[in-house]
Each structure stands twice: as structure tokens, then as C-alpha cells.
């Protein structure tokens, strides 16, 4: 059985395979992961002491494999609902990096004009949404899957990405139950990084693993080593293809690790909640390094080509910073309109205003009997 | 969006033309028409597809529109509200029937942390056309877990529209307006009203948010009422006119947010006196907000101190006799207004 305790005993990962992954795809997966990693590292680097990014940022360095895979599996019409560690999923849905940066800087040109920040960012145009309250986004994703199933011919799927701590919440299991009951087109992707802030899964959850529990609810599932991006890709591809063929929901549990602290650019390892053994195991099994080693060995890429990829990414990062820093701060025309739409175009079209308003005041409220 | 022609199908099967119908039947008629007007409208709620149809309000829907669009939901109120949000994001117009507002409290996270701020945090790009019908019991020993009217809680949140219809006409018009508008709405339905009858036009019409209505014109005091207290307010106004020669202007708020402060303001400018009846707890409630916001603007017109007539700051007792002292009717309104006018 795969769990965080057992994984540490396995040493350096040896099962890496490019099965069903051609050269082009392998390089794409690598480039996406590298782009995400460099993006996170650059943001973390710039965060202090400049202090121009003034929102909680949950960096996802170390957890690149799922977003990279989704980027090449999903179509624009598909929906993604992400947890607060959102940057990977945001980029996976091809939302622009510069608008991510501008959002974190609180600028008018940000993905949400500075209303949301990192942990609540969305890009509705590409069907990408996120939020910080655990499992909330997953339960909303469930509702989107209900709607998509009603129009099944579109073959759209919903992906909800969450951490293992989201499964502490009751509503997560309500969602699994209903997804199985109605065979909804939804994939639950649990990035199990073992920690809710500092608290390990073993301190919070009893019984079997999340993927085993899912089976009890009637949701097919699998648990895998989450830093092997090719394995993650194959499993996600397979599950999502099946979901498009109306085969019902799926839960994939990927065991992984975040290198950063829970929130912010600084390490929180001084708290002492993670052992050195654990940290060094996961550093050794970095998803990017694991793939890079194979790419070099197979001669799909050489060091020079890797440098070239990095240069391209770094220039995108630089221009994203420029864009964010040069953009204006937002201004509010109407707080009211920002929160609630005063326009009712559809009602205007189909409903009548009536002049006469009826009420017969000459009657008595009769108490209903019984319950 | 496809808009179907309304009268092509038998929408009248459950209601009779040109006859008075009850508040519950008016809601039912609104639900049928909404579903007929657009194939994107769907309903979720516990027990909505059984013959009793949530006090008659969902009768006949499943037969006509099928189990996909009329979904009986598990006893998972929290998930139901979230699911409604998710379906609305993907283009559905969703009516959630929370058969008891008290049970709906499981979905506070969905309402407070997601629904109310969805438009805001997307910077107006993503809207959620979702309507929550929240039903509230009263009397027959409903007790503390079946009787809470939490309209002012919801009204306190930015990003939600809150309606509290007192008549069958408004119940249907506000339901249709909510279904076909862009923002999320919560409609507070007092079950005590479900049997009240009225002439309800058969065509699909709207009652707009933020438009209070003067149910009775008067000169001496403005009486603002919410929900089921309209009937009591009108009775009290009648007594005050006949017995004491006091002319009461009764304003039925219809919706709490947006709040129609203009109508109340104009009335108070004329009468100089303001009383609010609110079927909810005394402190931190809708009555306090209404009085404060009117006094802030209108102090110079005020002839006597304002008053709020509410339930006590207490949970609802079950026992029949205690219910009598907990709830109030026209008599209490009359005596309170008499005191004010004397001052």
C-alpha cells in the first residue's frame, strides 16, 4: 500500500517509464513543469523585502506533475476547480502568466482586477476557478458536473484538484457520494502532500487511505507516486478518457510534497513538523529532476537545449513582472455593482411588468396543522 | 438561450384561470412557468418529486420536466447549495428548495464564502443565477429548530438579493424575477402564508427587487412590514383608523436587499413617524437597520421616536401557550402605535 510512511523507505524512485509518452509530449511536460517551478521561485524571490505582493500566496513548488499533465489532457471547454495552491492549475488551463502576476500585485490588469489574489483567482473565460476554503471548490465542481451531464453530448469533464486535508471536511464525502450515485463526469484529483499546514494526515484521519475510502462510496480510484509526471499523465489521461465515455467519476490520489512553507515565500521548517529524512527523500525525487534525467539519458534534450528553454521562460517571467509592476491599481466605480448585478437582461426580455398588483387584505392567516 | 412559448403547453393544469389561488399555488405556477420558459431552469430539493410537493409548491414538476431537471436531493443541504452554485456556473438557472431554512444552515459555507462573493471575486465576470427558496415554519409547536426567519443575516451579506414576499402575487412575481435575473437570490417564504388566497395573473410577470409597495395610504404614521406581518399590519391600520381616527400608511417592503429606502423616506417625510414590524429577533435585525438608515437622513421630519415591533430576543418555544406570548399580531401593533402617537 502506498502512503507517506512507506514511500520514504523506497529511496530514489526507480520505476520511471516513458511508456505511451513520445518525445514531443515528454518535452512539453518537462517545459510546463519547469515554467511553473521557475515562476514560483521568481515570485518567492521577489516577495520580500519588496513587499509589493500583498496577499497570501501558497506556492506549489514540488507539486508540478498534476497541472503539467492536465495542461495536455484538458480542452478549453473542460472545467477546473482548484484549491488555494492554485498557480499550477491556473497555468494548466492556459490562463496568461502576466495576468497571474498582476493579480498577485493587486493591479487592474490582473485576472480578477485585484479582487481575488492568489488563493481565490479565477479565469472564467477558460473555465478555471479556485478558492481557499477546503473542499468548497470540490463541492461546487460537483454541481458543474451535474450540469455537464445534462448536456452530455459536449463530452465535457470537470476536474477538481485538492489536497488530502480537504477530505477532513464532511462535504467532500457528500460530493463523492453524489458523483457515484449519478455517475457524473468528474475527476477528483487529490494531491496528497501529507500536511494540513503543519499537521500530518496520520494525526487527522483514521482508517484506510483516501483512495480506498472512495471505493466504498462507489467511486473508482487509484493511488500513485505523484512525482512521476509520466505516470500521473497516463493515469489522468486514462481516467479522463473514460469519463468522456460516460464511465463515471474517478478519484486519483497522487502522493507528493510541497517544498515551500504552507504559505508565503519563506520556509516554515523551523517549526520542525517535517523530518530531514522526509525533506531529502522528496528533494531527491523532484518531479522535474526525475524527468530531466530520463530526457538527457534518452538524448531527447541536452543541457544546452534545457538552458534555452529556461531562457525563454525567464524572459516570460521578466515581462510578467514588468506588466504587473507597470499596471495601474484598480479603482472602484460602484461597490454595489461590483457585488451584485443591477442588470436583468433576460428578465427584461421575457417577463412583464404589471400595473395592477393584487392583494386581498380581508383574510386571516390560518395556522397550518401538523408538521 | 431558448425561450419556449409559454402557453403552448398545459401550464394551467394545476391552476385554474381567473380564480383566486393560494400563495403555495402561486409559487407552484411560477415554478412551472419558469421551467417552461427556459430549458436551462432546474430545481433541486429534498422530496420535491413526491405528490405532496413541498407544501404543494413543487407539485407536477417532475411529471412534466423529468427527474434530470427536477432533482430530489440527498439529505446533504450543504452539498445541495454548492451543487446549485456549480450548476449555475455551467449555465443552468437553478432553483433550490430548502424545505426548512433551519436545515439549510448546513450550507452556510456555500452561501457566505462562495455564493455571495462569486461575482465580486471574479470582478463581475462570473455570475450565479441561483434562487434559494428558504421556507420557515411558524406555530403548531415548530419550536426552536423549525421556525427561524434569518432574512437579516442574509441581507447583511453583500452580493445576495433577499426577498420576503407577503402575498401570492408577489411570491410568483419575485420567483420569476429571481430565476431570470443574474445575481443570486434568497426568497424567504413564511409557511403561515401558504394558504392565503389572491388573484394571480396567469401570465409570467415580474416583481422587481428594491421596490417596496404602499399597501394602504395614511397620514399619521408609517408602518413598515415584512413577510407574514403584512396581514397583521393592515388589520392594525384598519382598527386604528376606525376606532381612533389614526391614519396609518402601510409599506410592504417585499425585498430586504436591495432595500427601497426611498419609498420609506418619502412616507416618513409625510407622516413624521416610523414603526417597523419584523418577524424576527429584536436586536441587530432588519428593523434596526431600517430605522437607523431612515433617521440618519430624516431626523428633521421625525415627530416622535421610532419603534420596532419584533419577536423577543429568544428562541421559539414549542408549547402552545408560550407560542401565543412569543408571536404577536395586530393588537400589539395597535397598542404600540397608540403609545407613540400619544408621545
* Contacts across the A-B interface (CB distance below 8 Å): 216
| Contacts B234 to A, Cβ<8 Å | 361
Same-domain pairing of B137 and B254: no
Domain count along chain B: 2
The whole-number pLDDT of residue B7 equals: 41
How many residues does the structure list for chain B? 343
As a whole number of angstroms, the distance between CA A101 and CA A322 comes to: 9
Angle at A242 between CA A239 and CA A246, to 5 degrees: 135
Model ipTM?
Answer: 0.96
Query: DSSP string covering A285-311, please?
Result: T-HHHHHHHHHHHTTS--HHHHHHHHH
Q: Do A365 and B195 count as a contact with CB atoms less than 8 A apart?
A: yes
Same-domain pairing of B257 and B143: no
The whole-number pLDDT of residue B17 equals: 56
Identify the band that residue B3 occupies on the pLDDT scale cut at 50, 70 and 90: low
B286 falls within a domain: yes
Residue of A nearest to B39 (CA): A150
Catalytic site residue from B32, B98, B146, B151: B146
Cβ atoms < 10 Å from Cβ of B170: 27
Q: B19, B66, B90: which to substitute to probe chain A, counting the most A Cβ within 10 Å?
A: B90
Tell me the CA end-to-end span of chain A in Å, nearest whole number.
Answer: 51
A32: cis peptide before it, omega within 30°? no
Q: Do B197 and A368 count as a contact with CB atoms less than 8 A apart?
A: no
Residue of A nearest to B160 (CA): A340
Classify A113 in phi/psi space as left (phi over 0), alpha (psi -120 to 50) or beta: left
The whole-number pLDDT of residue A367 equals: 74
B90 falls within a domain: yes
- Domain residue limits at B278: 213-342
Active site residue B282: no
Q: At what angle do helices A97-104 and A23-47 cross, to 10 degrees?
A: 20
A299 Cβ neighbours under 8 A, 6+ residues apart: none
Same-domain pairing of B173 and B35: yes
Q: Do A79 and B90 count as a contact with CB atoms less than 8 A apart?
A: yes
Same-domain pairing of B183 and B112: yes
B1 falls within a domain: no
Same-domain pairing of B46 and B179: yes
Q: Do B120 and A338 count as a contact with CB atoms less than 8 A apart?
A: yes
Same-domain pairing of B116 and B222: no
Cβ atoms < 10 Å from Cβ of A37: 22
| Contacts B137 to A, Cβ<8 Å | 371
Instruction: Judge whether B165 and B187 are in contact, CB under 8 Å.
Output: yes
Same-domain pairing of B13 and B123: yes
When CB atoms are compared, the residue of A146, A341, A354 closest to B127 is A341
Residue of A nearest to B197 (CA): A360
Instruction: Judge whether A89 and A40 are in contact, CB under 8 Å.
Output: no
pLDDT, one tens digit per residue, over B131-174 is 999 999 998 889 999 999 999 999 999 999 999 999 999 999 99
Same-domain pairing of B92 and B195: yes
Q: Nearest to residue B14, comparing CAs of B35, B41, B45?
A: B35
Find the mean pLDDT for residues B255-266: 97
As a whole number of angstroms, the distance between CA B267 and CA B287 comes to: 16
In chain A, which residues have pLDDT < 70?
Answer: 370-371
Question: A154 in helix, strand or coil?
Answer: helix
B206 falls within a domain: no
Q: Do A352 and B113 count as a contact with CB atoms less than 8 A apart?
A: no
The whole-number pLDDT of residue A153 equals: 79
Q: With 60 as the cut, is the pLDDT of residue B21 above it? A: yes
Q: What CATH class has A4-341?
A: alpha beta
10 Å CB burial of residue A355 (0-12, 13-18, 19+) is exposed
| Contacts B86 to A, Cβ<8 Å | 81, 139-147
| Single residue among B170, B199, B228 that ends a domain in this structure | B199
| Contacts A347 to B, Cβ<8 Å | 176-177, 180-181, 206
pLDDT, one tens digit per residue, over B96-140 is 999 999 999 999 999 999 999 999 999 999 999 999 999 999 988
Instruction: Judge whether B194 and B56 are in contact, CB under 8 Å.
Output: yes
The whole-number pLDDT of residue B6 equals: 46
The whole-number pLDDT of residue B343 equals: 52
The whole-number pLDDT of residue B87 equals: 98
Could you tell me the sign of the dihedral formed by the alpha carbons of A139, B180, B120, B105, in that order? negative
Amino acid at each position: 500500500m502506498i502512503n507517506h510512511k512507506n514511500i520514504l523507505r523506497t529511496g530514489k524512485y526507480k520505476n520511471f517509464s516513458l511508456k505511451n509518452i513520445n518525445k514531443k509530449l515528454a518535452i512539453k511536460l518537462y517545459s510546463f513543469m519547469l515554467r511553473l517551478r521557475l515562476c514560483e521561485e521568481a515570485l518567492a524571490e521577489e516577495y520580500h523585502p519588496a513587499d509589493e505582493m500583498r496577499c497570501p500566496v501558497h506556492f506549489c513548488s514540488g507539486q508540478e506533475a498534476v497541472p503539467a499533465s492536465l495542461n495536455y489532457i484538458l480542452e478549453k471547454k473542460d472545467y477546473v476547480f482548484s484549491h488555494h495552491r492554485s498557480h499550477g492549475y491556473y497555468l494548466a488551463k492556459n490562463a496568461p502568466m502576466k495576468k497571474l502576476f498582476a493579480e498577485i500585485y493587486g493591479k487592474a490588469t490582473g485576472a480578477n482586477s485585484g479582487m481575488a489574489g492568489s488563493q481565490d483567482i479565477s479565469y472564467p473565460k477558460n473555465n478555471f476557478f479556485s478558492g481557499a476554503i477546503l473542499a468548497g471548490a470540490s463541492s461546487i465542481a460537483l454541481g458543474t458536473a451535474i450540469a455537464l451531464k445534462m448536456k452530455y453530448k459536449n463530452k465535457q469533464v470537470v476536474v477538481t484538484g485538492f489536497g488530502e486535508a480537504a477530505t477532513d471536511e464532511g462535504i467532500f464525502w457528500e460530493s463523492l457520494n453524489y458523483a457515484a450515485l449519478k455517475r457524473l463526469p468528474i475527476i477528483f484529483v487529490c494531491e496528497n502532500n501529507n500536511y494540513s499546514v503543519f499537521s500530518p494526515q496520520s494525526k487527522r484521519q483514521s482508517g484506510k487511505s483516501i483512495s480506498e475510502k472512495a471505493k466504498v462510496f462507489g467511486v473508482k480510484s487509484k493511488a500513485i507516486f505523484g512525482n512521476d509526471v509520466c505516470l500521473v499523465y497516463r493515469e489522468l489521461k486514462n481516467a479522463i478518457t473514460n469519463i468522456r465515455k460516460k464511465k463515471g467519476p474517478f478519484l486519483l490520489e497522487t502522493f507528493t510534497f510541497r517544498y515551500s512553507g504552507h504559505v508565503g515565500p519563506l520556509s516554515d521548517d523551523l517549526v520542525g513538523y517535517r523530518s530531514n529524512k522526509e525533506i531529502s527523500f522528496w528533494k531527491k525525487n523532484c518531479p522535474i529532476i526525475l524527468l530531466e534525467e530520463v530526457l538527457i539519458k534518452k538524448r531527447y534534450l541536452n543541457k544546452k537545449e534545457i538552458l534555452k528553454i529556461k531562457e525563454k521562460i525567464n524572459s516570460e517571467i521578466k515581462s510578467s513582472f514588468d506588466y504587473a509592476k507597470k499596471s495601474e491599481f484598480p479603482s472602484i466605480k460602484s461597490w454595489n455593482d461590483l457585488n451584485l448585478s443591477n442588470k436583468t437582461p433576460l428578465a427584461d426580455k421575457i417577463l412583464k411588468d404589471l400595473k395592477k398588483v393584487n392583494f386581498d387584505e380581508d383574510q386571516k392567516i390560518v395556522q397550518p396543522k401538523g408538521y | 438561450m431558448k425561450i419556449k412559448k409559454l402557453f403552448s403547453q398545459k401550464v394551467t393544469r394545476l391552476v385554474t384561470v381567473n380564480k383566486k389561488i393560494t400563495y403555495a399555488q402561486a409559487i407552484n405556477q411560477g415554478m412551472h412557468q419558469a421551467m417552461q420558459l427556459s430549458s436551462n431552469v432546474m430545481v433541486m430539493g429534498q422530496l420535491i418529486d413526491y405528490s405532496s410537493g413541498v407544501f404543494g409548491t413543487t407539485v407536477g414538476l417532475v411529471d412534466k420536466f423529468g427527474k434530470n431537471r427536477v432533482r430530489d436531493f440527498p439529505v446533504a443541504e450543504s452539498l445541495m447549495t454548492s451543487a446549485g452554485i456549480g450548476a449555475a456556473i455551467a449555465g443552468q438557472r437553478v432553483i433550490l428548495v430548502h424545505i426548512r431554512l433551519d436545515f439549510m444552515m448546513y450550507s452556510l459555507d456555500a452561501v457566505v464564502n462562495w455564493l455571495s462573493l462569486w461575482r465580486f471575486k471574479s470582478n463581475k465576470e462570473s455570475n450565479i443565477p441561483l434562487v434559494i427558496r428558504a421556507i420557515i415554519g411558524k406555530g403548531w409547536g415548530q419550536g426552536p429548530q423549525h421556525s427561524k426567519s434569518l432574512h437579516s443575516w442574509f441581507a447583511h451579506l453583500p452580493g445576495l438579493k433577499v426577498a420576503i414576499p407577503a402575498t401570492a402575487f408577489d411570491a410568483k412575481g419575485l420567483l420569476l424575477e429571481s430565476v431570470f435575473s443574474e445575481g443570486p437570490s434568497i426568497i424567504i417564504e413564511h409557511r403561515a402564508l401558504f394558504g392565503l388566497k389572491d388573484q394571480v395573473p396567469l401570465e409570467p410577470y415580474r416583481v422587481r427587487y428594491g421596490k417596496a409597495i404602499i399597501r394602504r395610504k395614511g397620514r399619521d404614521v408609517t408602518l413598515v412590514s415584512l413577510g407574514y406581518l403584512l396581514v397583521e399590519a393592515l388589520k392594525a391600520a384598519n382598527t386604528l383608523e376606525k376606532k381612533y381616527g389614526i391614519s396609518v400608511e402601510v409599506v410592504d417592503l417585499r425585498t430586504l436587499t436591495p432595500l427601497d429606502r426611498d419609498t420609506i423616506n418619502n412616507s416618513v417625510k409625510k407622516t413624521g413617524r416610523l414603526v417597523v414590524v419584523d418577524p424576527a429577533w429584536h436586536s441587530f435585525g432588519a428593523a434596526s437597520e431600517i430605522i437607523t438608515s431612515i433617521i440618519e437622513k430624516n431626523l428633521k421630519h421625525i415627530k416622535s421616536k421610532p419603534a420596532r415591533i419584533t419577536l423577543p430576543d429568544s428562541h421559539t418555544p414549542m408549547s402552545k401557550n408560550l407560542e401565543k406570548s412569543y408571536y404577536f399580531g395586530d393588537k400589539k401593533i395597535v397598542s404600540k402605535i397608540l403609545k407613540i402617537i400619544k408621545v
